[in-house]
């Protein structure tokens, strides 16, 4: 066997083995050894997956577990075993996730030393699940990793054992468990239709004959993955879970887990349904609408938040909408942009959550109004936050800007461009506003953000500041890398992958209608919005008060929508499934 194929299974076996060993020895380990082991394992995985991505650029590296390769069944329509295939996009995304985990382990150094390495066990299992999810080529195996990812995330969310983290975890578990059952129903339907679980064989069986089974199976799978990816109307759990999880975990949630949902959607569309016209048409013409609504709604809601982690959570929702638009392009350029966007957004969002964690550790709060002016002594963190906010607002440097630009051109759809500009401006503006309030002490009467949910909380504070700032600044520096270093590689990777799927190219022709290019539109809007809200004075005259009340109304509505009750969320999920079925029948 080629060396690359031999090393491929280690991408999951290594973290799983490390987690099991840590649990086994948890009562006898010296302090800090778990931190060290987890960091080293995730760095090793980043290197391994990066190498696999490079080796798999032209031809995916395939490993058939237990040696049950396609020949062993003795008939062409059956594959007995499970395979991993490290094509360049999957391996690159895995490498990126492993890198984020390493940064998060450094950030959380010494944070979780009270309980015997349990945090590290959960995180390593989480990492293994994400890598397995990216690399697998078997639908049920994909589900297993999806579920392992969820279960690890559930436990990590509730980890601080505070009231709101427990309640956020409950919402998270119930919604995501329903999502995984929906995925399993989809798998059952597709298995009934195709009689196999292997991606390539499924694609072969589905090819050509559009039918209710393939469509229904796809819709159920899409519900599950869109729930993970927090696409409206399946997004409600995210703001609850991300706002209350410990910040090193939120780093992973926003930076990696959520985008894995979009990446999984991309993988199953490319892997299983490339030749199903109805599904391709739905993905190309229907999904962008979900992305657009998500981007705008997420941006608006983020604007009206004061709790920094909740603000970041809504901004994640907004940006995931843009990633979904990238998925829907189904062209090599667009998918390369999507991959780059996952990377750029993950880096920036991880760094910003680290800053929120620093604030929590120092000041026991991450509320921009409570913290007003108290961050002056922490100016490096403030600087990093401002840089992150500008990058998130699409300032024309670094990975994220290029990624957004590429996606915009690939989808060629004016509404999508408007949504992207609006959501970038709103989220970036909200972050700039928060940074100015916390670190500069700029005032301004609070607008719609005044009534947003918030809470005082505390995270363990005896870690040195430099240790927390270091991973944050490193990630930001990576996000500032010139995109030319990565984009050609990703373009080639996406082209190879799409070519291997034989997708019907005619179905995915772009419309080519973009806004007039203007690199400074979104960041300019963001700065303007932040400036306006900091100049705001308390309304005195009757007209001003009426205007303020009028301005509150829509945000009030958004607040009522995000009620925090899981029973409501379940209803929204049912309505969302109905909406998908409707849109599917229309496209």
For the segment 67-96, give every residue that binds other proteins (CB under 8 A).
Answer: 67-69, 72-75, 77-82
Count of chain residues binding other proteins (CB under 8 A): 126
HEC letters along 356-405? HHHHHHHHCCCECCCCCCHHHHHHHHHHHHHHHHHHHCCCCCHHHHHHHH
For 233, phi then psi, to 5°, come to: -100, 30
* Cβ proximity to other proteins, 79 vs 284, nearer residue: 79
For the CB of residue 475, give the shortest distance to other proteins in the complex, in Å.
21
DSSP code at position 517: P
d(CA 54, CA 61): 10
For the CB of residue 394, give the shortest distance to other proteins in the complex, in Å.
28
Per the CB < 8 A criterion, the answer to whether 215 and 279 are in contact is yes
Distance of CA 211 to the CA centre of its chain: 31
d(CA 172, CA 182): 15
Q: List, in order, residues 6 or more apart from 555 with CB less than 8 Å away.
A: 300, 301, 303, 304, 448, 451
- Give the contact letters, 531-560, x = binds to other proteins (CB under 8 A), - = no: ----------------------------x-
For the CB of residue 262, give the shortest distance to other proteins in the complex, in Å.
21
DSSP code at position 449: G
Name the one range near other proteins by CB under 8 A: 286-294, 338-346, 513-521, 561-569: 561-569
Site for other proteins contains 9 (CB under 8 A): yes
For the CB of residue 361, give the shortest distance to other proteins in the complex, in Å.
9
Site for other proteins contains 64 (CB under 8 A): yes
* Cβ proximity to other proteins, 78 vs 511, nearer residue: 78
For the CB of residue 409, give the shortest distance to other proteins in the complex, in Å.
34
* Cβ proximity to other proteins, 248 vs 382, nearer residue: 248
For the CB of residue 141, give the shortest distance to other proteins in the complex, in Å.
6
Strand partners, 307: 367
- Give the contact letters, 371-410, x = binds to other proteins (CB under 8 A), - = no: ----------------------------------------
- List the one residue out of 367, 368, 366, 372 whose CA is nearest residue 354: 366
* Cβ proximity to other proteins, 164 vs 500, nearer residue: 164
d(CA 70, CA 91): 22
Range 98-117, binding other proteins (CB under 8 A): 111-112, 114-115
- List the one residue out of 232, 13, 260 whose CA is nearest residue 153: 260
Site for other proteins contains 244 (CB under 8 A): yes
* Cβ proximity to other proteins, 455 vs 551, nearer residue: 455
Run of H or E residues at 498: helix 487-500
* Cβ proximity to other proteins, 216 vs 412, nearer residue: 216
For the CB of residue 384, give the shortest distance to other proteins in the complex, in Å.
22
Three-class secondary structure of residue 275 per DSSP: coil
* Cβ proximity to other proteins, 83 vs 496, nearer residue: 83
Per the CB < 8 A criterion, the answer to whether 476 and 384 are in contact is yes
* Cβ proximity to other proteins, 209 vs 414, nearer residue: 209
Site for other proteins contains 482 (CB under 8 A): no
Site for other proteins contains 453 (CB under 8 A): yes
- CA distances, 134 to each of 45, 117, 202, 428, 539 (Å): 13, 26, 18, 30, 52
> Among 51, 54, 191, 531, which residue sits at the site for other proteins (rule: CB under 8 A)?
191
> Among 376, 450, 545, 549, which residue sits at the site for other proteins (rule: CB under 8 A)?
450
* Cβ proximity to other proteins, 145 vs 266, nearer residue: 145
Where does residue 71 rank: exposed (0-12), middle (13-18), buried (19+ CB within 10 A)? Answer: exposed
b/e 99-117 (16+ beta carbons within 10 angstroms → b): bbbbbbbbbbbebbeeebb
Sign of the torsion angle spanned by Cα atoms 329, 332, 337, 340 = positive
* Cβ proximity to other proteins, 171 vs 329, nearer residue: 171
Run of H or E residues at 61: strand 61-64
For the CB of residue 84, give the shortest distance to other proteins in the complex, in Å.
8
Three-class secondary structure of residue 343 per DSSP: helix
- Give the contact letters, 150-179, x = binds to other proteins (CB under 8 A), - = no: -xx-xx--xxxxxxxxxxxxxx-xx--xx-
Site for other proteins contains 195 (CB under 8 A): yes
> Among 4, 22, 52, 308, which residue sits at the site for other proteins (rule: CB under 8 A)?
22
Site for other proteins contains 585 (CB under 8 A): yes
d(CA 433, CA 372): 11
Site for other proteins contains 511 (CB under 8 A): no
Per the CB < 8 A criterion, the answer to whether 123 and 164 are in contact is no
* Cβ proximity to other proteins, 36 vs 571, nearer residue: 571
Residue whose token pair is 């391996």: 91
Range 270-309, binding other proteins (CB under 8 A): 306-307
> Among 196, 294, 423, 508, which residue sits at the site for other proteins (rule: CB under 8 A)?
196
Range 116-145, binding other proteins (CB under 8 A): 118-119, 121-122, 125, 128-129, 132, 140-141, 144-145
Site for other proteins contains 224 (CB under 8 A): no
d(CA 564, CA 243): 12
Site for other proteins contains 40 (CB under 8 A): no
């Amino acid at each position: 066997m080629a060396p690359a194929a031999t090393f491929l299974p280690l991408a999951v076996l290594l973290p799983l083995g490390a987690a099991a060993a840590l649990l086994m020895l948890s009562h006898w380990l010296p302090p800090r050894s778990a931190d060290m082991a987890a960091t080293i394992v995730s760095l090793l995985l980043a290197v391994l997956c990066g190498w696999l991505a490079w080796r798999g650029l032209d031809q995916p590296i395939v490993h058939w577990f237990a040696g049950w390769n396609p020949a062993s069944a003795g008939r062409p329509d059956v594959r007995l075993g499970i395979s991993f295939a490290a094509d360049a996009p999957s391996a690159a995304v895995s490498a990126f996730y492993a890198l984020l985990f390493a940064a998060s382990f450094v950030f959380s150094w010494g944070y979780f030393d009270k309980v015997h390495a349990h945090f590290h066990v959960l995180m390593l299992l989480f990492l293994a699940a994400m890598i397995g999810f990216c690399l697998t080529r078997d639908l049920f195996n994909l589900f297993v990793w999806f579920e392992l990812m969820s279960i690890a995330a559930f436990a990590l969310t509730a980890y601080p054992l505070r009231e709101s983290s427990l309640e956020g975890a409950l919402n998270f578990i119930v919604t995501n468990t329903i999502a995984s059952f929906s995925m399993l129903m989809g798998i059952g339907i597709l298995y009934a239709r195709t009689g196999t679980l292997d991606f390539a064989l499924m694609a072969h069986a589905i090819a050509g004959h559009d039918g209710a089974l393939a469509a229904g199976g796809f819709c159920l799978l899409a519900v599950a993955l869109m729930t993970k990816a927090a696409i409206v109307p399946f997004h409600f759990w995210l703001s609850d879970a991300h706002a209350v999880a410990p910040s090193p975990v939120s780093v992973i949630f926003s930076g990696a887990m959520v985008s894995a949902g979009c990446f999984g959607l991309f993988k199953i569309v490319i892997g299983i349904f490339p030749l199903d016209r109805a599904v391709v048409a739905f993905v190309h013409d229907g999904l962008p609408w979900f992305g657009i609504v998500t981007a705008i709604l997420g941006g608006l809601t983020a604007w009206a938040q004061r709790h920094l982690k909740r603000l970041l959570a809504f901004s994640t929702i907004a940006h995931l909408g843009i990633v979904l638009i990238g998925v829907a392009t189904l062209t090599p350029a667009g998918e390369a942009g999507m991959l780059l966007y996952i990377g750029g957004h993950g880096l920036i969002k991880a760094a910003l959550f680290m800053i929120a964690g620093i604030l929590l550790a120092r000041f026991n709060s991450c509320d921009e109004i409570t913290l007003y002016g108290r961050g002056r002594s922490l100016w490096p963190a403030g600087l990093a936050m401002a840089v992150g906010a500008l990058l998130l607002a699409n300032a024309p440097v670094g990975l994220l800007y290029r990624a957004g630009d590429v996606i915009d051109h690939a989808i060629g759809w004016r509404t999508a461009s408007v949504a992207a500009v609006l959501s970038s401006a709103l989220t970036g503006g909200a972050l700039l506003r928060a940074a100015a309030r916390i670190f500069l002490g700029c005032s301004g009467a609070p607008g719609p953000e005044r009534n947003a949910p918030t809470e005082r909380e505390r995270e363990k504070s005896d870690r040195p500041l430099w240790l927390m700032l270091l991973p944050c600044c490193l990630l930001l520096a990576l996000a500032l890398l010139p995109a030319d270093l990565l984009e050609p590689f990703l373009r080639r990777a996406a082209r190879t992958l799409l070519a291997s799927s034989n997708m019907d190219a005619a179905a995915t022709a772009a419309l080519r209608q973009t806004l007039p290019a203007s690199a400074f539109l979104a960041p300019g809007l963001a700065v303007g919005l932040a400036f306006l809200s900091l100049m705001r004075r308390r309304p005195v005259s009757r007209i001003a008060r009426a205007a303020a009340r009028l301005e509150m109304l829509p945000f009030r509505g958004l607040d009522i929508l995000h009620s925090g009750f899981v029973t409501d969320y379940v209803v929204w999920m049912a309505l969302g499934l109905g909406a998908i079925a409707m849109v599917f029948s229309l496209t």
